[in-house]
Amino acid sequence: MVNILSIEKVSKQYGVTKVLDEINFGLVENQKIALIGSNGSGKSTLMKIVMGDETADSGNIHKNKNFKFAYLSQNPKLTAGNTIFEEVLQDNQKELRLLEKFEKITLEISSNSTDKLIQQLANIQDEMDALDVWSIDNKVRQYLHQIGIDDHTAKVDSLSGGEIKKVALAKIFLQQADCLFLDEPTNHLDTYSIEWLEQMLIDYKGALLLVTHDRYFLTNVIDTIVNLDRGTLKVYEGNYDKFLESRALEAEVEDKTNKNKSSFLKRELVWINKQPRARGTKAKYRVDQFEDISASLSYRPDPMGEFRFGLSRKLGNTILEWSQLGKKYDKWLFKNSVHKVLEGEKIGIIGKNGAGKSTFIKILLDQVKADEGRVIVGQNTHFCYLDQNRAFLNEEDTVLESMSEFGEFLSFQGKTIHVNSFLDRFHFYTDSHSKKIKLLSGGERARLLLARMMATEGNFLILDEPTNDLDLLTLRLLEEAVLAYEGCAFIISHDRYFLDRVCTSVIEIGEEVTPFYTPGNFTIFKLLKEKRALESFELKQKQELTQKTEKSKRKVKKFGYKEQNELKKVLLKIDELEAQKESLDEQIVNLVNYDKYNDLAQSLKTIKHDLESIYQRWEDLEELKEAQ
């Protein structure tokens, strides 16, 4: 296999923190690698170094010059003032200019056609054919349509985060690169766009270096996983399933090793305590060995592994229910929605960006007024809300100040715990307590809001895009916390794996006017939706067949005066055409001036075609006559 990318002893340090420590790995032709690791482990930093957006402190990066590379950053920037169509073709300027010229001249010809303009158009068409411009134009429109963007003239300045990511992805795929570098490409995308992107990457024939926390991507797209941890990396062959198997074996081996180390330490501790203060140099190696092993065991399990959502009080018989619920702006977002939340139910809310998912939740929370229907909230129901935009954090507060409403000590899992210790459990150690909210990363903000939610202890969780910015470890811990939660939950998410793990039912908003409810997780929802679509298709086909049959029955007529008259005319027409055919045959046989041959042959061909049609009609009329 041809080597595309080589990373040799690359290091990068920020202050006293060593993000990358002499790491080595490579990417070969057609290989698909995922970089994973905790937030701040250096995934995006490494990607930026590879693309030249940042400089390594030491080490070398070699990219094969015979291959074309394309890069999608975590937060892509588009060119202000461009239309969506212009932006996607930003790297195809020649093709874009030709399309613009073609449209301009075509418009001029429609109002004032001249030989000069027609010649100019012909020349431009020749250039377009040479560059395969129509194929590129079709691909742009196809990509944009598949990800739900049909207004190609809209300015990129007005796009949402999800729409910006979609346009950037269409732009990347149009480049036809040999190797793609994609940093968190699923961020801000809805489920339907994520599934489109996943299929595009499965079908993609080039090499791929991907940073993502989407575990279905890691399972279905990737063939190699590179795990970054505290500046070093380890390569695992295979997809996410294989990675988990390998990590489980490692944990088992590590557990056995730690038990052996612990036994050794106990024996050595007894020995060391028995030694006189002025011990000899011969025994020094045992002391050194004791200290080395003791240091290797100083790392404790991740404190976040202990977190659980508390339950403030038991839910009543009525938890939350709504009937005939509807909301419209210019048109209905949804209507006729009916449901009664069951004890322990964890409902996934899915739909395209802008479909009305957050609006739906805000109506249930009485933050937005519905246009029809009613909502009943149980007396014992206490909501705990994680906002998609992380709006419940004051940008000017410090991490510690954001927890001030809970006091110096708070109740957590039946224990009283100091706020500093509580924050430690969410990786906010003492040196970060004075850090302002506005300086936190997306992942840090998400963790802080989770900490606030766990300190609040409601009995009905509202999680609006809870997986945004979280690394794989935190995602798994959050899943375990939601699964163990004894209350109810709404989970608005585009993370299919998360929805599969935690949801007991799913509501889809936006695809139909009435929200589609299914019991079960996301996979079951998809199967039921596909089954429903198949049944709908089969019913439609059956209805069309019935209509066609009824139409055919209505068409059956008696051989009456009208048909008898038509039959006479058909017979006369047949005689006329046969005579013309005979005359043309004779002319062609006796032809002297062969300049007329083409005209005569064309006339003969037309008459034969007419005869074929008229004979068919004659047969139909005769069959109708005999049927009487």
**Per-residue model confidence as pLDDT tens digits over 337-375:** 999 999 999 999 999 888 889 899 999 999 999 999 999
For domain 3-78+159-238, give the fold: Rossmann fold (3.40.50)
What digits encode the pLDDT tens for the residues 239-282?
Answer: 998 988 888 888 788 777 777 767 766 666 666 566 655 555 54
**What is the full DSSP assignment across 252-297?**
HHHHHHHHHHHHHHHHHHHHHHHS-SS--GGGHHHHHHHHHHHHHT
In sequence order, what are the residues at sequence separation of 6 or more whose Cβ sits closer than 8 angstroms to the Cβ of residue 257? none
Q: Are 335 and 516 in contact (CB under 8 A)?
A: no
Name residues whose C-beta falls within 8 Å of residue 210's C-beta, 6 or more positions apart in sequence.
32, 33, 34, 35, 180, 182, 185, 201, 217, 221, 222
What average pLDDT does the segment 60-88 reach?
A: 91
CA 6 centroid distance within chain: 29
CATH of 320-520, one of 3.40.190.10, 1.20.120.160, 3.60.15.10, 3.40.50.300: 3.40.50.300
The neighbour count for residue 534, using CB atoms within 10 Å, is: 10
Burial class for 242, CB neighbours closer than 10 Å (0-12, 13-18, 19+): middle
Nearest of 417, 424, 418, 412 to residue 453 by alpha carbon:
412
Residue 441: what pLDDT? 74
Residues 628 and 624: their CA atoms lie apart, in Å, by: 7
pLDDT value of residue 318: 95
Chain centre to alpha carbon of residue 373? 33
Half-sphere CA count of 410, side-chain side, radius 13 A? 21
pLDDT at 377: 96
At residue 120, the pLDDT reads 84
CA–CA dist 398, 394 (Å, integer): 9
- Residue type (1 letter), 238: G
Confirm whether pTM is higher than 0.75: no
For the stretch 164-194, pLDDT in tens is 999 999 999 988 899 999 999 998 888 989 9
| Residue 333: pLDDT over 60 | yes
98-120 CB burial, b ≥16 within 10 A, e <16:
bbebbeebeeeeeeeeeeeeeeb
Amino acid at residue number 111: S
pLDDT tens per residue across span 397-426: 999 998 988 889 887 767 788 999 888 888
